[in-house]
Structure 1
């Protein structure tokens, strides 16, 4: 079973990567006056960093056996599911908005808009009519959100194939974002579907989840950072 020190050793690199990614995005905004979706992307990354810092109270409490944040022990806030279940809706909704912004085809844009609205509404209803909100990551939100992200990226790639941006892909930021986000959620979603088993009695699952999260986060945020730095050198297509 991981101890608090082990968790911190895994958490610090991820938190630092999130901070560096947000700072890289801010540098990109300073160097390039980008389109509005990319401005919102950087804002989204700062919000993500803040949520991750706030949400860290739960694993710190768990791995310290509630030596820290003892006031949440035994309450519905002992886990941070209440925070991330809402944030997951925001995450997947944002990615749909982001990739949709680079799609010209009106039918594809309409499809994504309708699906995103349906996703938000149905995910909230799922919280209302089940007990998942405080007890686990919503499997409905995770599965449907990942499918929606995958569809958004596929339609985005389809759009790329029909444009002259193919000749300048190296300097097209949304490509880096699509690769990082898609790989991350394809790796993390399967393991988070079993979040109910995150407990002291299931040390193998706890260790596995922490390891997968570390690797997936490193890949995603490094991809984002590379994208910001590379695209900061070119104003075209941004």
Structure 2
């Protein structure tokens, strides 16, 4: 199992991400009149971000690692900190805000997102190099809280409106549920990122297993939801 993960972790992860992007593009015509089209764009962006974020492997493969060795970008922490922990949080909270039908909840999500952006800017202004190191968990944890809370407010929207009668047909219910489960399952790993080192392969493999299961669940579930559901929000 360990040798399998060592050899195929990246391939499996990129595979499910690319699958969800391809399914999204194939279903784009069905959802082009709803906010889901933006989520499809997001899935395509994630697949591209993940491929580019594997640049350390490319430098090693092409025997060019000496170019980034002993520099701040030697590892890809900064890339995912900015484009996933920060970028994905901003987009997903915006998306969940748009598909929420209760004005008060929409405003709450909007202002929480603004607070998150301001606090992140202050955090980076105090120590902009923090994003280059694995012990920087502030943005990842606060971003997860923002997304989970936004998804929770969407659940309340379903409970307090007529949408509860057809929630099983609404793709946004599945998107929010999948995100809720994924963030709850993986956020705690951020606190242990500092231990993600080849000197402790037991933790490395444990983290790979958790992320692989979580990612396969998330992206394959997105694919199924896109295939089976109909657009609800125009």
**Residue 31 (structure 1) shift:** 2.8
Distance 1:180 1:25 in 2: 16
Distance 2:71 2:88 in 1: 26
The answer for the alignment partner of 1:107 in structure 2 is 104
Distance 1:33 1:44 in 2: 14
The answer for the alignment partner of 2:150 in structure 1 is 152
Preserved CA contact (<8 Å) 2:141 2:187 = yes
Task: Indicate how the Cα distance of structure 1 residues 181 and 59 shifts in structure 2: closer, same or farther if over 3 A, else same.
Answer: farther
Q: 1:38 aligns with which of 26, 36, 39?
A: 36
Preserved CA contact (<8 Å) 1:85 1:137 = no
Distance 1:57 1:224 in 2: 26
Preserved CA contact (<8 Å) 1:81 1:137 = no
The answer for the alignment partner of 2:51 in structure 1 is 53
In structure 2, the residue corresponding to 1:194 is in which secondary structure?
A: helix
Preserved CA contact (<8 Å) 2:158 2:167 = no
**Residue 83 (structure 1) shift:** 0.7
Q: 2:179 aligns with which of 174, 178, 181?
A: 181
After superposition, the C-alpha distances for 1:156-210 in whole angstroms (9 at most, x for unaligned) are 0111112222232232111121122121111111112221222222222211111
The answer for the alignment partner of 1:230 in structure 2 is 228
Preserved CA contact (<8 Å) 1:150 1:182 = yes
Distance 1:21 1:61 in 2: 27
Q: Does 1:22 align with 2:21?
A: yes
Q: Does 1:83 align with 2:79?
A: yes
**Residue 67 (structure 1) shift:** 5.4
Preserved CA contact (<8 Å) 2:99 2:233 = no
**TM-score (ref. length: structure 2):** 0.89
**TM-score (ref. length: structure 1):** 0.87
The answer for the alignment partner of 1:72 in structure 2 is 68
Task: Indicate how the Cα distance of structure 1 residues 210 and 68 shifts in structure 2: closer, same or farther if over 3 A, else same.
Answer: farther
**Residue 215 (structure 1) shift:** 0.7
Q: Which runs of 4+ in 1 moved over 6 A?
A: none
Q: Which moved more, 1:104-113 or 1:9-18?
A: 104-113
- Residues matched between the structures, number: 231
The answer for the alignment partner of 2:213 in structure 1 is 215
Preserved CA contact (<8 Å) 1:14 1:214 = yes
Q: Does 1:141 align with 2:142?
A: no
In structure 2, the residue corresponding to 1:224 is in which secondary structure?
A: helix
**Residue 237 (structure 1) shift:** 4.8
**Residue 60 (structure 1) shift:** 6.3
- Name structure 1 gaps, 5 residues minimum: none
When the two chains are superposed, the root-mean-square deviation of aligned CA atoms in Å is 2.3
